[in-house]
């Protein structure tokens, strides 16, 4: 007895994604974007470029327990190699052309555009935009690629979960949790009193409750990030981790940011994250001694 033959795999997958969105009361457009990013990562994992690009930021949380995922509309990667937008466009054109008939999605290289991406002219990077098609649904995809950041411990390849059962999972390099905390902490120091990036507090709160940390590794990750980004080591408790800051920001409401406890107001995430992050990061206020053997392929 043979299995059922699906005449139009793309239409079947689109229908399954719609059912998924309805079941989870999620926005269908957001589900399509999540699926497109997942399948682009799978194609990346099938090329030799997979050893030069590391998943970071919000999509990284897809690999964490379901309740901690922070919805996002783009893909963030740390790259190693040529940061020239034209070279990146050429590379991702090849990635888009990797043939994966089972997932039904087609990435259109003709729509791919790349432009320089800088933060106050300090970091090299590029933003790629392109369109994918799934059974007539046009899905815009954004990819932000940064270069030059310190990553410690060295990133490891892990599986990125698939939205739908039966599809092969992407196997890609991922940021270690120590570097996630380090970069969010550095942003708190850099923005100080004007920090409106509640997502940084959220991400530290989630990461520190999902993983157990080796303190020397965390201190090295924070120290390496501060040195690489030329951010001064704090000599006192950073403003963003004080109770006073949390109280002043209790009225903040950020779309798409889930609270630590569904029974609490959303803005309570600021106070909770500030308190927990302060306790964890307090040992990082002093400049750490660099242990031996810390230089990895993504290090300084």
Model confidence band, residue 38 (pLDDT cutoffs 50, 70, 90): very high
Q: What is the mean pLDDT of residues 224-249?
A: 80
Among 43, 75, 17, 9, CA closest to 169? 43
Rg (CA), the chain: 20
Contacts of 260 (CB under 8 A, 6+ apart): 205, 268, 269, 272, 273
Supply 143's token pair. 């990819």
pLDDT tens digits, 240-285: 777 777 666 665 544 444 444 333 333 344 344 444 444 455 554 4
In this predicted model, which residue has the larger pLDDT, 199 or 46? 46
* 208: phi then psi, degrees, rounded to nearest 5: -75, -15
Q: What is the mean pLDDT of residues 135-163?
A: 96
Supply 151's token pair. 């990553």
Among 161, 173, 240, 244, CA closest to 205? 240
pTM: 0.79
Q: Helix or strand or coil: residue 212?
A: coil
């Amino acid at each position: 007895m043979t299995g059922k033959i699906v005449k139009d795999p793309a239409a079947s997958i689109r229908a399954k994604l719609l059912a998924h969105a309805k079941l989870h009361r999620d926005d269908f457009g957001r589900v399509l974007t999540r699926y497109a990013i997942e399948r682009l990562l799978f194609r990346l994992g099938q090329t030799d470029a997979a050893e030069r690009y590391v998943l970071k930021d919000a999509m990284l949380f897809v690999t964490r327990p379901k309740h901690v995922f922070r919805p996002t509309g783009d893909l963030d990667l740390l790259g190693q190699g040529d940061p020239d937008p034209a070279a990146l466009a050429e590379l991702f054109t090849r990635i888009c052309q990797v043939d994966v008939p089972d997932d039904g999605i087609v990435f259109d290289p003709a729509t791919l555009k790349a432009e320089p991406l800088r933060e106050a002219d300090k970091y090299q990077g590029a933003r790629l935009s392109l369109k994918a098609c799934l059974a007539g649904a046009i899905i815009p995809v954004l990819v932000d690629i940064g270069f030059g950041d310190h990553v410690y411990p060295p990133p490891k390849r892990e599986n990125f979960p698939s939205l739908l059962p039966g599809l092969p999972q992407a196997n890609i390099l991922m940021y270690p949790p120590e570097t996630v905390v380090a970069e969010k902490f550095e942003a708190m120091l850099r923005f100080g009193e004007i920090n409106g990036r509640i997502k940084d507090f959220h991400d530290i709160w989630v990461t520190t409750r999902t993983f157990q940390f080796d303190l020397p590794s965390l201190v090295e990750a924070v120290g390496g990030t501060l040195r690489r980004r030329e951010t001064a080591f704090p000599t006192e408790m950073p403003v963003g981790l004080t109770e006073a800051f949390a109280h002043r920001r209790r009225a903040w409401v950020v779309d798409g940011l889930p609270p630590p406890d569904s029974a609490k107001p959303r803005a309570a995430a600021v106070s909770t994250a500030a308190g927990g992050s302060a306790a964890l990061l307090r040992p990082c206020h002093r400049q750490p001694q660099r242990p031996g053997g810390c230089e990895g392929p993504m290090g300084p």
